[in-house]
Amino acid sequence: MTGDQIAGPGLIEVEYWLDIKFLNMPVCCRCGAPFEAMHDVGDAYELVECAACIARKPAFDRARAVFIYDDLTSRIILRFKNGADRNGLKLMSQWCVDVAGDLVRDADFVMAVPLHASRLRSRGYNQSLWLAAAIARRRDLKLAHHILKRRRNTPSQAGRSAVGRQKNVEGAFHIAERHRKKLAGKRVLLVDDVYTTGATVEACCRALKRSGATSVDVITLSRVVSPTDPTI
């Protein structure tokens, strides 16, 4: 990330900027997990999948994240998510484009992981939709915020195991029949704030592909890389 981007407003105190672990090292070409070491693959590193993706192919085509989720960056996410702080949106959307320019370039539509209607009413906003809209504006892409719906108000994913998370969101997302023509043959870029186990975005991807989307890529601001069960 460049120096003038580091001058971005309000995301986190200036003294912590250099401690943000940006995911700009070699990553799994499918899920975006960082590799601790890369041996003997030369220029082919862009085609290397991690062991988890080889063992089980994710429902999405490619996922990328801007930085690793940890004690420091969780504060950025919480300010954005619970504090409705939009000050850093311009910078965050630029980071997304920087880290996943090819995913953005290939997209026909940008959309966000939706909240259930009742959750949206009580919270008043969907921060992932803000980010999706900011990314779409940067590349003059179509923002499709009305197509993918969350038809079940699923309990929080926090504290659930990877399998528990899958079960919690399975079948939670839906695309109305009238929107399916719009998706046929299209490439979708799905935006969320945090990638934890990928269960939520995978459930979205399955719904989108069942409705005719050719490919679904995912961009998140942050990504959990800890092998322990997620607590967020």
State which H helix or E strand residue 128 sits in: helix 127-139
Question: Would you state the structure tokens that stand for residue 52, as one six-digit string?
Answer: 């988890």
Interface of this chain with Zn ion, residues 115 to 134, rule: CB under 5 A? none
What 3-state class would DSSP assign to 53?
helix
Q: How far is the CB of 13 from Zn ion (least distance, A)?
A: 33
**Cβ 191 to Zn ion shortest distance, Å:** 19
Is the CB of 100 or the CB of 136 nearer to Zn ion?
A: 100
Query: Judged by CB under 5 A, how many residues of this single chain contact Zn ion?
Result: 6
Closer CB to Zn ion, residue 33 or residue 205? 33
* 213 near Zn ion (CB under 5 A): no
Residues 16-55 as x/- pattern, contact with Zn ion by CB under 5 A = ------------x-xx-x----------------x--x--
Q: Which is nearer to Zn ion, 28 or 92 (CB)?
A: 28
Quick one: how far is CA 25 from the chain centroid?
18
DSSP helix/strand/coil, 93: helix
Least distance between Zn ion and beta carbon 88 (Å) = 28
Name the minimum Å distance from CB 89 to Zn ion. Answer: 28
CB of 52: closest distance to Zn ion in angstroms?
Answer: 5
d(CA 8, CA 32): 25
| CA–CA separation, 185 and 216 (whole Å) | 11
Q: Which is nearer to Zn ion, 28 or 188 (CB)?
A: 28
Pick between residue 38 and residue 50 the one whose CB is nearest to Zn ion: 50
Contact in structure between 202 and 163 (CB atoms under 8 Å): no
SS3 (DSSP) at 188: strand
- Locate 134 and state its tokens: 């900011």
Task: Name which of residues 53 to 92 contact Zn ion (CB under 5 A).
Answer: 53
How many Cα atoms occupy the beta-carbon half-sphere of 41 within 13 Å? Answer: 13
Q: Which is nearer to Zn ion, 57 or 119 (CB)?
A: 57
Q: Which residue has the tokens 């959309």?
A: 111
Q: How far is the CB of 80 from Zn ion (least distance, A)?
A: 25
Nearest partner of 204 among 32, 60, 81, judged by Cα: 60
Using CB under 5 A, list all residues that contact Zn ion.
28, 30-31, 33, 50, 53
